[in-house]
Amino acid sequence: MATVLTDHRKEKIATIETLDARLRWLSSWIVHNANHLREKRDGLKVGGHQASCASMTAIMAAVYFHALRPQDKVSVKPHAGPVLQAIHYLLGHQSLEQLQQFRALGGAQSYPSRTKDKIPVDFSTGSVGLGVAITAFSSLVQDYLVAHGSLDEADAGRMISLMGDAELDEGNIYECLIEAYKHDIRNCWWVVDYNRQSLDSTTADRMFRRFDDIFETCGWRVVTLKNGKLQRAAFSRPGGKSLEDWIENCPNADFAVLTYKGGAAWRERLIADIGGKPHVAKLLDSFDDDGLAALMTNLGGHCIESLMDAFDSADDERPTLFIAYTVKGYGLPLAGHKDNHSGMMNPAQIEQLRVSMGVEVGQEWEPFAGLGGNIAARLKDFVGQSVLAHKPQETDAPVIAVPERLPVPSGDVQSTQAAFGNVLLDLAKSSETLADRIVTTAPDVTQTTNLGGFVNQRGLFRRSDVADIFRDAKIPSAQKWAAHAAGQHIELGIAENNFFLLLTSLGLAAPHFGTRLIPVGTVYDPFIARGLDALNYGCYSDARFLLVGTPSGLTLGPEGGAHQSINTPLIGMGQPGLAYYEPAYADEVALFMRWAFEHMQKPDGSSVYLRLSTRQVPQVQRAGTEWETDALKGGYWLKQPAPGAEAAIVFTGAIAPEVLAAFEQLADDIPGLGVLNVTSPDVLHRDWSASKAARWTDKPMQMCHAEDLLSVLAPDAGLVTVIDGSPGALSWLGGVTGMRVSPLGTDRFGQTGNLIDLYDTYRLDAAAIIDAMAELFLKR
């Protein structure tokens, strides 16, 4: 519904239209400078997306300088990154040097980044689709904080995604929609730059109305902005209805071709198609070619007045999808061309744009060039008084106290998964502040990953109470899961992308909302790979959470190959922003969990991944706590070798019983044999890599922990490495001091079976360890 146009609103519309043009110029020039003017040291194309920026400038101008409120947060389409940089340049938040170094080392990033950019970025984007769905889960986290009294309802903001239409092809969008509907999210806007052109093709015409159906079914309001005010005015004139019908039914590819060819082509096609209908010829004759081209491309996503009206109409809590029709490359010489996604203007074309914008030579970087003194001054003042100019900076939330020690679950035989669940249960029963800030989640595997005890104590989170019907019916169940606003577990369906995006949103609660949460998420270890892109996204965003992958490995036995994780240790070792530990014993679980809760809160901390198992393992008797320091560094001697010993068995995780059985059989034949428990192949390897890299820096050279551990052995000692996972996770230890290695592990899909048969088949049993040790000495 159109808003009454007061003088003030007319002036604001005109001002934002001017901003739209400035953003189109600056974003184009940023990319042009990087590709055509800046020295290229490697001769490679720098890249950028001028056309993708141009289709988005009006939308971003209207959002940031009209709709935005201080508490709102915005996720920006990856390829519109230069527009966001230009906005902050106009605000004085971004430097000229950063823009001139766009996509260069240390300069403005290709895509908005919370961790790499110098400007404020609410949500990192880059892998398309994830930056959209994250806003829905941030809306859920905001509701969680409001329900728990950690955020005032009045301070709840809208989580806004400015998205490209090609992102609607991403499956994680629809997984997210289902979960968002289940949790009744609110305060979420998705604004689609519906330019109908992607990298390879134009959008299929049959998709026009499907998005409306999908989103409306999931409880969203859908607002379509197809026509701008110029088109709507033309439609009201004689012959206008025929023109409106023609535009409504014009195939996407045809619209793009005609846009690129210009006014004369539009006229020829319209006359051919509808020129014989009443009043159409006269209507078309009232526009010259340039005017006709402007009319036909006056879509809703480029009309500031239409955008402002649409945003104003959605002033409530309901999630809303705005489908804003746009032209790819709007206002640029390459508008509509099918190759314009990764293409860019050549020097002649950018010169043409410069002249049309009234920007003088040498003034290309001036924020308000080409406007005239009075207009420039008014625009600068308008920008300076905007909400974005005075939006509070993110601040770090207070650190949550962590107990000096977490109780170690009792029991002579335990699994690491059960120990994890018992540690959480003890916390849930406690009055520790830490317990109140823990939020757990799982993709429909809460019970089978030992989160059930915590949930029984702390409840499921729902904004509205949901009774436990089975309990009310007095049907016995281990699950006592009433759902209420004070609950601390968010249950998800089987969609690992959603799982990791929720962990990311929870892990950003401190900078986003000023309240620190301790997210703990469990997932079957092999299915980490199903959400790996979203896990990577969370780590890149510097979100902090504890990821528990369990059960893991061949040790899962009867579940079979699809459920037996192989490469997850390598994921843990290779993923930046994630510290991976794999405990063998219950006391290690308690140690690593306590460390994780503290590490996640440190400025230089990270997320943490624990790889656990359901295998019941006999616990070891400790003489003290000295082992703990080494365990946190990545490894400790479970069986101390004699000085100069010729061999050691090195292992990780649940394979411990086989390792100790082999040790007992080999100890008499190999005097001084040691057993090294590598609790974190990741931490140990990073430490080794850092020590090697230090020689090329000014940092002092220090012995790494792996070298320190192995230094007790003879220089030519042999190592048998054993892990229920990829053998590469441990075999690298031979390179630390040049020792011989015989690696054991799994590098092929497993199958169903009991542990005795599987360990024998895949050579993870004591006999295989003994054979591997013999091989070392035979090859000596």
The string of DSSP codes covering 17-77 is HHHHHHHHHHHHHHHHIIIIIS--SS-------HHHHHTTHHHHHHIIIII--TT-EEEE-
Angle in degrees, CA 546, 549, 553, rounded to 5: 155
Question: What is the distance between the alpha carbons of residues 483 and 471, in angstroms, rounded to a whole number?
Answer: 12
What pLDDT, on a 0 to 100 scale, did the predictor assign at position 778?
80
Report the half-sphere exposure of 519 (CA within 13 A, side-chain side).
Answer: 30
Please identify which residue in the block is written with the tokens 């490894």.
Answer: 635
Question: What is the distance between the alpha carbons of residues 163 and 186, in angstroms, rounded to a whole number?
Answer: 18
Query: Under a CB-based contact definition with an 8 Å cutoff, are residues 174 and 538 in contact?
Result: no
Cα 721 from chain centroid? 34
Fill in the DSSP letter of residue 192. Answer: E
Q: Please name which of 685, 660, 587 lies closest in space to residue 628, comparing C-alpha atoms.
A: 587
Angle in degrees, CA 415, 420, 425, rounded to 5: 125
What pLDDT, on a 0 to 100 scale, did the predictor assign at position 202?
59
Tokens of 227: 């026509």
What pLDDT, on a 0 to 100 scale, did the predictor assign at position 41?
85
What pLDDT, on a 0 to 100 scale, did the predictor assign at position 698?
76
Phi then psi for residue 274, to 5 deg, are: -135, 10
Length of the chain: 780
Q: Is 699 exposed, middle or buried (0-12, 13-18, 19+ CB in 10 A)?
A: exposed
Side chain identity at residue 62, one-letter code: A
Supply the pTM of this predicted model. 0.95
Question: What is the distance between the alpha carbons of residues 345 and 50, in angstroms, rounded to a whole number?
Answer: 8
Question: What is the distance between the alpha carbons of residues 201 and 69, in angstroms, rounded to a whole number?
Answer: 36
Q: Please name which of 538, 578, 608, 545 lies closest in space to residue 131, comparing C-alpha atoms.
A: 538
Q: Please name which of 508, 535, 533 lies closest in space to residue 141, comparing C-alpha atoms.
A: 508
What pLDDT, on a 0 to 100 scale, did the predictor assign at position 208?
59
pLDDT by 10-residue block (mean), the chain, 780 residues = 80 96 97 93 88 96 97 96 98 96 95 96 94 97 97 96 92 94 95 80 63 91 96 96 94 90 95 95 96 96 97 94 95 86 88 94 94 91 96 92 96 97 97 97 94 95 81 74 90 95 98 97 96 97 98 87 90 98 98 98 98 97 95 98 97 98 96 97 96 81 92 96 97 96 94 91 96 86
Angle in degrees, CA 328, 331, 336, rounded to 5: 35
Q: Please name which of 658, 274, 246 lies closest in space to residue 282, comparing C-alpha atoms.
A: 274
DSSP assignment string, 390-456? GPPPP-PPPPPP--S--PPPP-SEE-HHHHHHHHHHHHHHS--HHHHHEEEEEES-TGGGT-HHHHH
Cis peptide before 551 (omega within 30 of 0): yes
Q: How far is CA 702 from CA 338, 687, 705, in A?
A: 56, 10, 9
Please identify which residue in the block is written with the tokens 């592990």.
Answer: 745
Alpha helices in 155-301 (DSSP H): 171-182, 210-217, 229-235, 240-249, 252-261, 263-274, 280-285, 289-296
* 3-state SS assignment for residue 83: helix
Query: Under a CB-based contact definition with an 8 Å cutoff, are residues 501 and 538 in contact?
Result: yes
DSSP bridge pairs for 523:
549
Q: How far is CA 255 from CA 210, 337, 582, in A?
A: 20, 10, 57
Question: What is the distance between the alpha carbons of residues 100 and 108, in angstroms, rounded to a whole number?
Answer: 8
Query: Under a CB-based contact definition with an 8 Å cutoff, are residues 273 and 265 in contact?
Result: no
